[in-house]
Amino acid sequence: TGLVVAEVDKVTRDASYVFDTPSAWDYLEFNPELEKAAEGAKAVVVGTIASRLGSEYGATTADAVQKVCRAAGQGTAGVVLDVNLRPPWYTPHAVLNFAECIANHSNFAMLKLNDDELPLLESWCGLSSSPQSADSTNDYDMAMQIGERAALLGKTIGAKRVCVTRGSKGAVLYSSSSVTPSNKDQIATNPGFVSSTHNAGGTTDTVGAGDSFLAALIKSLLLDGQEDVMALKRGCALGGYVAQCQGAVPSHEDAPDDLRLLFQNEPSSSSSSFMDLV
């Protein structure tokens, strides 16, 4: 269906991607089977990379994905928009068009993006991008600032939740009052995960880490009904583990014990935290 070459920076271990263009996945078409699947799904995940080629190239995937979102709106599925800004394959119009379609025609369960993408979407939505305070040396305070920005972006764009990943510093999850037990807006934070029993040297490469994080977050939050703090901790744990491994799909048998336990048991305490917003 296509080829993507991941190039890993030797210093930062971050990955950049080169896409084979055009690819078969640029020409997906909506059909009755896809419609039925979307209507019966519990969650539908949409990546903005699906809109990388417009109709001027004869590409059909963006249109097909929007129809999937509309079909999901006929059922009970929560739609998750995963922002993938891979230069040069995005435009503000295409990204916001996806978000608008989801907000208007389905249950916009969550917007997921990273802390580099956050100021871009803020600017596209006409929001001011508040810089981190120079006086703030406390990472929790910095995370809460990001959470407050995520809350404003979510309200502007129509998403019930906004998750901002922060690389090795973990992630922040904003949840609106419509989806929290307290019926108040809530921000949860997690400082990131480093296994005590696996690769104490840190990041090997980031390929697959974001997708692993999101998969764990969606399963815990939207499918299993876990609270925000637990769902975020699981997402950071799985994403962090994959970043410590070579490649995107490490063997399950190699998973460290502390990661296995996290997905098997309810912890009595957590390094995650949350705050209800009045």
Q: Amino acid letter at 266?
A: E
Look at residue 268 and tell me whether its pLDDT is greater than 50: no
Cα of 9 vs its chain's centroid, Å? 22
Strand order across the beta sheet in which 273-277 lies: 43-47, 78-82, 107-114, 161-165, 171-175, 185-190, 273-277
How confident is the model over 224-246, as a mean pLDDT? 90
Average pLDDT along the chain: 87
Look at residue 133 and tell me whether its pLDDT is greater than 60: no
Cβ contact 229:268 at 8 Å? no
| pLDDT given at position 267 | 46
Look at residue 230 and tell me whether its pLDDT is greater than 90: yes
Task: Tell me the β-bridge partners of 276.
Answer: 186
| pLDDT given at position 54 | 82
| pLDDT given at position 274 | 53
Confidence label for 13 from pLDDT (cuts 50, 70 and 90): low
Cβ contact 55:63 at 8 Å? yes
Look at residue 174 and tell me whether its pLDDT is greater than 90: yes
Look at residue 194 and tell me whether its pLDDT is greater than 50: yes
Least confident of 61-65, 166-170, 249-253: 249-253
Q: Tell me the pLDDT tens digit for each residue of 82-121.
A: 999 988 889 999 999 999 999 999 999 999 999 999 999 9
- Residue 165 structure tokens: 């990943």
| pLDDT given at position 66 | 96
| pLDDT given at position 33 | 97
How confident is the model over 131-135, as a mean pLDDT? 56
| pLDDT given at position 1 | 58
| pLDDT given at position 269 | 41
Cβ contact 198:183 at 8 Å? no
How far apart are the two ends of the chain, measured CA to CA in Å? 48
How confident is the model over 238-253, as a mean pLDDT? 80
Cβ contact 84:49 at 8 Å? yes
| pLDDT given at position 196 | 62
